[in-house]
Amino acid sequence: MPEIKPTIDNMEILCAETVAGPNALVVFGASGDLTHRKLLVSIFQLFARDLLDDRFYLLGCGRKKFSDEEFRKKAEQSIRENSDFLSSKDLDAFISKLYYIDGDYNDANFYRRIKTRLVELEQKHKVYKSLVFYLSVPPFLYTTIVEHLGSSELACPKKLATKQQIKLVVEKPFGRDLRSAVELNNSISRCFDEPQIYRIDHYLGKETVQNILMLRFANTIFEPIWNRNYIDNVQITIAETQGVEHRAGYYDTSGALRDIFQNHMLQMLALVAMESPISFEADHIRDEKVKLLRSIRAFDINKLDDFFVRGQYGPGSINGKKVKGYLEESGARANSKTETFVAAKLFIDNWRWQGVPFYLRTGKRLPAKDTEIAITFKKVPYSMFSSVGIDELPPNVLVLQIQPEEGISLSFQAKRPGSKICMSTLNMNFSYKSVFLVDMPEAYQRLLLDCMVGDQTLFTRQDDVEVSWQLLTPILQAWEQDESAPHKYAAGSESFAEADRLIEADDRKWRKILESGISQ
């Protein structure tokens, strides 16, 4: 497909970044994979960009026994392995700000020791009670840790005489269903107020996801056609080549609907479909997201197969390499009905979107890694070129590419040089990497900095979580009562018959995963 390369004008309309004030980051689960693969690397990048205050320090808390020096060596190794460009001077300065303490999360004495250590570090670094508690631990530990933070008076500032800036960061999943989400929120809210709680969904930190707001509300060309009069359908895809890997034990009690659909997919849907906020303030944006989620039509459980399809990967091959089926994965139950693929058709009952189908799909062991939002516009109502054999013209498609390379593309029809009638589909591509000539920052950089400066725009609010679970909990309950297994699909396959029928019943087709993507 011919391609049009973009250029940049008015490159510096506004480039503003807020530097974090004095902060102590206390990470529970500091010996775990997420901390070393994502968090430490992202925090170091913020430090190297001079976005952290000189008084910043990090206290890692974990079950594994490490001295400060052992933790620093492990952190340095992780940063070197996951950072393309780094300054040894910056790295040495950053590593010196890392500390570690080990203990049992259920032991009250562990939290007393943490409190004593923080008093020492506060005097050394002069941070003075500006604390961010990051729970990089399995969800079943959230309540335990929060309760101990309260009883030890490390948190619960509303019970203390002194004013403190204390925040809590919670990783997804936020509950397993509506009941557990409400219970978790109630438990956390006994110690933390909503403005202190940062429920993190790393997809919201990705540049193209953030750019949805800019694309929609900083331009006049899209808003007049961003509705049912001009848009035929919207497809949101999250495709992964990986299987469950070492997460099979966790994943077998979760599944794709809980792991990806309830958070990542519904959050992207909300940003694409919501109304314009009155300002760029966090709660104004989050108000509109919640309003949109409330507008999603409830599903008729008696006709669930018309709106949802679940699948589970079997043996197959990825990039020419044979891989196991889900039931062969270590940690998966032999008769597991856990879904690794979900396809869904949603409708939004409001004036803007009435009648427009939103097709969502996510799956593991698919042929390519691909996350995108594709807005397909309606076809021209009449082809003036029918006399020369062109009865139908392809629709215009706007694609927001989120993974593996972030960018935007727009397809449209144009005449090619030569014959009188010679038409092609042109693709106007914008790739962040090729245009700005920089590697895209890790999503956690954005989210960690926002947390430390107190900006909740990209974090999920309590009512947002509960509305999404209210929508999906009946589907989970119906699947649990259904004795039939998910549909099988071979690892490496693009789709399967039942998922195809969901969209083909509407005379539409899924976008090809292998053909999607933004050219560099």
How far apart CA 439 and CA 35 sit, in angstroms, is 21
Q: Vertex 296, ends 293 and 299: CA angle to 5°?
A: 130
Domains and CATH numbers, the chain: 24-171 (3.40.50.720), 204-504 (3.30.360.10)
Predicted confidence band of residue 295 (pLDDT cuts 50, 70, 90): very high
More confident residue, 307 or 129: 307
User: Is the dihedral angle over the CA atoms 345, 346, 351, 354 positive or is it negative?
Assistant: positive
Average pLDDT over the chain reads 88
Which residues are CB-contacts of 178 (< 8 A; sequence separation ≥ 6)?
Answer: 466, 469, 470, 473
- pLDDT value at position 389? 59
Helix (H, G, I), strand (E, B) or coil at 1: coil
Predicted confidence band of residue 155 (pLDDT cuts 50, 70, 90): confident
pLDDT score of 381 more than 70: yes
**Hey, what are 322's tokens?**
């044979």
Give tens-digit pLDDT for 474-496. 999 999 998 899 999 999 999 99
**Hey, what are 184's tokens?**
């978790």
Predicted confidence band of residue 8 (pLDDT cuts 50, 70, 90): low
Q: Vertex 174, ends 242 and 237: CA angle to 5°?
A: 40
More confident residue, 187 or 393: 187
Owner of token pair 């929508």: 471
- pLDDT value at position 426? 80
Give tens-digit pLDDT for 216-246. 998 999 999 999 999 999 999 999 999 988 7
Predicted confidence band of residue 431 (pLDDT cuts 50, 70, 90): confident
Query: String of b and e for 391-425 (b: at least 16 CB within 10 Å)?
Result: eeeebbbbbbbbbebbbbbbbbeeeeeeeeeeeee
Q: Percent of the chain beyond pLDDT 70?
A: 90
284 is catalytic: no
pLDDT score of 313 more than 80: yes
Q: Residue 362's beta-bridge partner residues?
A: 238, 342
Beta pairing class for 407-415 and 423-431: antiparallel
Q: Residue 57's beta-bridge partner residues?
A: 24
Owner of token pair 């060596």: 73
Give tens-digit pLDDT for 30-85. 988 888 889 999 999 999 999 999 999 999 999 999 999 999 999 999 998 887 76
Side-chain half-sphere CA neighbours of 147 within 13 A: 12
Q: Of the listed 36, 125, 148, 264, which one is catalytic? A: 264
